[in-house]
Amino acid sequence: MRQETQVLDSQEAGADVPPMISFDHVGKRFFKKSKPFQALGDAHFDVRPGEFVSIVGPSGCGKSTLLNITAGLMKPSSGSVRYKGEPVDAVNTNVGYVTQADTLLPWRTVRQNIAIPLEIRHHPRAERTELIDEMIEKVGLTDFGNHYPAELSGGMRKRVVLARTLIYQPETLLMDEPFGALDAQLKLVLQQELLRLWSGEGTTILFVTHDLAEAVTLSDRVVVVSSRPGTMRTIKTIDIQHPRDVFDVRFHDRFRELQQELWAILQDDMLRGGEM
């Protein structure tokens, strides 16, 4: 199903850079009780190397589905996804994926959880300890390496998930509401850490959130998706300079304007309700 897509106001900027991820009219249909069910309507946009792009839209509009397709865990029913110019037709090992339900293995310590990607990739044992120490420090969990997940707060567990994803230095990060359930203060701390890691490493990030303020705080561009079947309403460039302080940026006039503009686009879909 393809709906009208409004003019995408910023696709032109930087259009000469070959995209990292390219969505070409991607749609996804599931079957529920043998009846076809269009989850995602038409996703059509590019993510450039090193860019931080957020996707916002009502619950059930296909945001997680789009990330699953990008990670190669699911095939689109229509259209295609390219990663650095190549079609994604198997699990995409270039991306690190923090899924919406990401959990830790409860019987493993923080260190052992963070080690999982290194074990899967048969990373030399001798180098693992140093890499894990470095990552634990980066996410502010020094002294907690030998704790089990049950001994950590919710925010600390999120940091471990982040560390586990970052440890093999994926060139692209897919993040599905990684800070969703956290309290406001902790969210700010982790957002600042993520921005610091992103600007230091040049990682490309595709980030799903329900939180407009979070999308404006972090992103270079925000993709607004309609209620199911998700179709792009617009792409908004967040023309606020980096580096950003996640607390101070909220008092920026442009921040408020952008948040209002995004809400104006999103509110009809939100009020009509997705599956919230």
Question: Interface with Mg ion by CB under 5 A: which range of 58-66, 73-81, 220-228, 242-250?
Answer: 58-66
Question: Least distance (Å) from Mg ion to the CB of residue 14?
Answer: 28
Binding partner at 145 among ligand ATP, Mg ion, none, C-beta below 5 to 8 Å by kind = none
In the chain, beta strands by DSSP E: 21-32, 35-47, 52-56, 78-83, 86-87, 95-98, 172-176, 204-208, 221-225, 230-237
Per DSSP, 74 falls in state S
The pair of three-digit structure tokens given for residue 137, joined into one six-digit string? 């420090």
Question: Least distance (Å) from ligand ATP to the CB of residue 127?
Answer: 36
The binding site for ligand ATP (CB under 6 A) comprises 30, 39, 59-65, 100, 228, 275
**Backbone torsions φ then ψ of 141, nearest 5 degrees:** -120, 25
Interaction between residue 64 and Mg ion (CB under 5 A): yes
Choice between 62 and 96, CB closer to ligand ATP: 62
Choice between 63 and 233, CB closer to Mg ion: 63
| Count of other CB atoms within 10 angstroms of residue 145 | 17
Q: Which of residues 79-138 bind Mg ion (CB under 5 A)?
A: 100
Question: Least distance (Å) from Mg ion to the CB of residue 208?
Answer: 6
Binding partner at 39 among Mg ion, ligand ATP, none, C-beta below 5 to 8 Å by kind = ligand ATP
Binding partner at 30 among Mg ion, ligand ATP, none, C-beta below 5 to 8 Å by kind = ligand ATP
DSSP-derived 3-state class of residue 251: helix
In which order are the strands placed within the sheet that holds 86-87? Answer: 86-87, 78-83, 21-32, 35-47, 230-237, 221-225, 52-56, 204-208, 172-176, 95-98
Interaction between residue 226 and Mg ion (CB under 5 A): no
Beta bridge pairs of residue 32: 35
Binding region for Mg ion (CB under 5 A): 63-64, 100
